[in-house]
Structure formats: C-alpha cells, structure tokens
C-alpha cells in the first residue's frame, strides 16, 4: 500500500509517473517569481537573472545594465577559453584521442582579444576593491544576489573605462 497517486500526472503503460504537465510546472515557477518581484514584473523575461531583476526594479541605470551584460559576456568568453576539461577519466580519454570536438580552435588574434578584454575589465573592477570585483562577478556572471552599492560602483567603473 503506497501513497495516493496524484491526479493529472502522465503515466506510462505500467502506471509509472512520467512527470507533471507543463502548465503545473509553469504555475509553480510563476508563483515563485510573483513572490520575488511582484505581479507587475512576473512575466518579464529579464527578472529571470539577478542583473535583470536589479535593472527592472530600478536599482540600476541602463548604462550600468549594459556594462553588466558586457562583463558577463567577457568573463564567459574568457572562462570558455581557459577552462580545462573536467578531471573525469572518460573526459581525459576523449581529450587524448582527438577529433571529437566540433568547435574550431580560436585563432591567436581572438585569444589575445579575449584576454585583453578580460584584463581590462578585471583592472577596472580591482581598482574599486576585491569585494566589488567579487560582487560584480557573482551578480553579472553567476546570477547570484549581491550588494547593490558595490555592484553599482563596479559597473560605473566599467562604464568609465570602457
């Protein structure tokens, strides 16, 4: 004797659950979003990430938002360039065998441009202090909430040095 079955859940021929309908999942997500940002912005796509929530709520200017998006793009490009393959045995074996990647290797000019952009952004943010750098990376790249004053200071520094 198990627990009662949920109604409206898809089931296969053996009676096993195959997930809830999309409408139920969307309702849960929208309910949480409404709780976080209010009914006015719950359907706004920008509230799905921290930087967008700060912008939509009026805590950031459009220039600060643009600088934050630029920082996120630069950091993601740099991470893609320098990230090592995972320390997994199978992944390491794939790296040695070659020919499995469909992505082309970036040229030396592109690598230099990405590194220069990253260094420029890092220098601007470090000029404001390491906590400002960490806050900007956490909010803009990792989509975590952070101190708005430090975020503004960092994004303003990026805007000046850009």
For residues 52, 54, 60, 66, the Cα torsion angle rounded to the nearest 10 degrees is: -20
DSSP annotation string for 98-124: -----SPPPPHHHHHHHHHHHHHHHHH
Query: pTM of the predicted model, to two decimals?
Result: 0.70
Task: Kindly tell me the number of DSSP H helices and DSSP E strands found in the chain.
Answer: 7, 0
- Residue 94 has, within 13 A of its CA and on its CB side, a CA count of 11
- Report the distance separating Cα 155 and Cα 162, nearest Å: 10
> Tell me, what's the pLDDT at 150?
96
Q: What is the pLDDT of residue 27?
A: 82
How high is the pLDDT of residue 84?
58
Averaged over successive runs of 10 residues, the pLDDT of the chain (162 residues) comes to: 79 81 79 80 81 90 95 92 58 48 75 93 95 95 93 95 78
pLDDT at 92: 47
């Amino acid at each position: 004797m198990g627990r009662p079955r949920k109604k409206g859940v898809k089931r296969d021929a053996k009676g096993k659950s195959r997930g809830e309908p999309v409408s139920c999942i969307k309702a849960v997500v929208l309910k949480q979003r409404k709780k976080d940002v209010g009914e006015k912005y719950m359907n706004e796509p920008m509230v799905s990430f921290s930087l967008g929530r700060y912008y939509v709520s009026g805590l950031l200017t459009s220039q600060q938002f643009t600088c934050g998006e630029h920082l996120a793009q630069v950091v993601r490009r740099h991470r893609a360039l320098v990230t090592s393959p995972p320390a997994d045995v199978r992944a390491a074996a794939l790296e040695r065998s070659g020919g499995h990647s469909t992505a082309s290797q970036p040229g030396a000019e592109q690598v230099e441009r990405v590194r220069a952009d990253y260094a420029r952004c890092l220098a601007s943010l470090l000029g404001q202090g390491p906590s400002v750098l960490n806050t900007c990376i956490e909010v803009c790249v990792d989509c975590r909430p952070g101190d708005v004053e430090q975020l503004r200071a960092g994004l303003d520094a990026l805007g000046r040095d850009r």
